[in-house]
Amino acid sequence: MNTLFVVEFRQACQQKGCPFCTLAQQHTRRYLSRLLYEYTLAPDIHQRLAQARGLCNPHAWLLQYIAHAEQPDGVGVALFYGSVAERLHSDLQACLSSARSSHARRAGGSSLASRLWNCLQTEETCLACERQAESERYALTQFLQDLHDSGEEEGLVRLYRDSAGACLPHFLALLHESPSEQAVLWLAQTQMYKTARLAAQLQEFVRKRSLPFQNEPMGEERDSWVRVIEQMIGKRAVPLRRSDHRSL
Ligand SMILES: [Zn+2]
Ligand SMILES: [Zn+2]
């Protein structure tokens, strides 16, 4: 197995929350940083970003954050989004001139709003989401391979068992990778155990916030109200396509 991946997976399992979300965050951040450092003049990246009207909301703001933290002048973002803005301008211009043409007037039918709506649809999805999906798939399949090869007490699986476990979207994504029945059973039992523990921590949190018990010090339940959100929807700024996993 890829040694670098094992090191990264171990570190991700030692951090709070879903290790697959942590890996996705790290990989996407590295990818966006590389875009800013190495690809600001790459025509294919500019074209791809322009076709998608830039990145999705969380990834665009992550790009801005990285640029602010690492390249305070913002030139990389300005170069990329210059292409995005130019493409939007030319699409708007093309749509308006076609609507004004006599042919368009004769054709009637579609309103200007619907023409604009069609002109402004994106041809591509977010580039960072696409890369994130690839790296997530790699992590999920490597983990399942290890579960299959090494059993339930070894390697990545032992690291995973001691971690917070997969968030719900990544648990569903694991199921989507067609693991064996035995692996599914282990994953489901582990998920059930971790969910029961989180539910108990939430109960304890609420109990210690109620008047008669307010003097009791908080334990590991202290941040359970934040962790439960991560557990259900994934980490902040990790856009996960739950709809991909609606059916197997
Ligand atoms: Zn996750
Ligand atoms: Zn994205």
Q: Which of 119, 148, 166 is the last residue of a domain?
A: 119
Q: How far, in Å, is the centroid of ligand 2 from the Cα of 54? A: 9
Q: Which ligand is nearest to the CA of 132?
A: 2
Q: Which residues place a Cβ less than 5 A from the ion ligand 1? A: 18, 20-21, 167, 170, 234
d(CA 60, ligand 1 centre) in Å? 20
Q: Please give the pLDDT value at position 45.
A: 97
Query: Which pLDDT belongs to residue 103?
Result: 59
Domain end, chosen from 119, 135, 169, is at 119
Q: Give the 3-state secondary structure of residue 82.
A: helix
Tell me the CA–centroid distance for residue 53 and ligand 1, in Å: 26
pLDDT number for residue 198: 95
Q: What's the 117 CA to ligand 1 centre distance in angstroms?
A: 34
Residues with Cβ within 8 Å of 19's Cβ and at least 6 positions away in sequence, in order, are: 9, 12, 13, 159, 160, 163, 164, 166
85 with 171, same domain? Answer: no
Per the CB < 8 A criterion, the answer to whether 61 and 237 are in contact is: yes
- How many C-beta neighbours within 10 Å does residue 188 have? 13
Side chain identity, residue 27: H
Q: Point out the domain boundary residue: 119, 149, 183.
A: 119
DSSP 217: P
My answer on whether 75 and 155 are in the same domain is no
Count of domains observed in the chain: 2
Tens of pLDDT, residue by residue over 232-246, are: 999 877 766 555 555
State residue 240's pLDDT score. 64
One domain for residues 206 and 163: yes
Q: Same structural domain for residues 163 and 238?
A: yes
Per-residue pLDDT of 153-186, as tens digits, reads 778 889 999 999 999 999 999 999 989 999 999 9
Asked if 133 and 240 sit in the same domain, the reply is: yes
Give the pLDDT score at 47.
Answer: 97
Distance 8 CA to ligand 1 centre (A): 15
Nearest ligand to the CA of 54 is 2
Starting from the CA of residue 56, give the closest ligand.
2
| Å from CA of 86 to ligand 1 middle | 36
Ligand having the closest approach to the CA of 165: 1
pLDDT of 25: 93
**How confident is the prediction along the chain (248 residues), in pLDDT tens digits per residue?**
788 899 999 999 999 999 999 999 999 999 999 999 999 999 999 999 999 999 999 999 999 999 998 877 899 999 999 999 999 999 999 999 888 775 555 555 678 888 899 888 888 999 999 999 999 999 999 999 988 888 777 788 899 999 999 999 999 999 999 899 999 999 999 999 999 999 999 999 999 988 888 888 888 889 999 999 999 999 877 766 555 555 66
Nearest partner of 80 among 119, 39, 23, 122, judged by Cα: 39
Residues 133 and 82 in one domain: no
H or E stretch covering 185: helix 181-209
Distance 79 CA to ligand 2 centre (A): 19
Q: Are residues 132 and 240 in the same domain?
A: yes
- Ligand at shortest distance from the CA of 171: 1
Q: How many angstroms separate the alpha carbon of residue 25 from the centre of ligand 1?
A: 10
CA of 190 to the centre of ligand 2 (A): 30
The predicted model scores a pTM of 0.86
80 and 100 together in one domain: yes
Instruction: Indicate whether 77 and 134 sit together in one domain.
Output: no
137 and 112, same structural domain? no
Same domain, 45 and 72: yes
The residue segments making up the domain with residue 19 are: 3-119
Same domain, 106 and 146: no
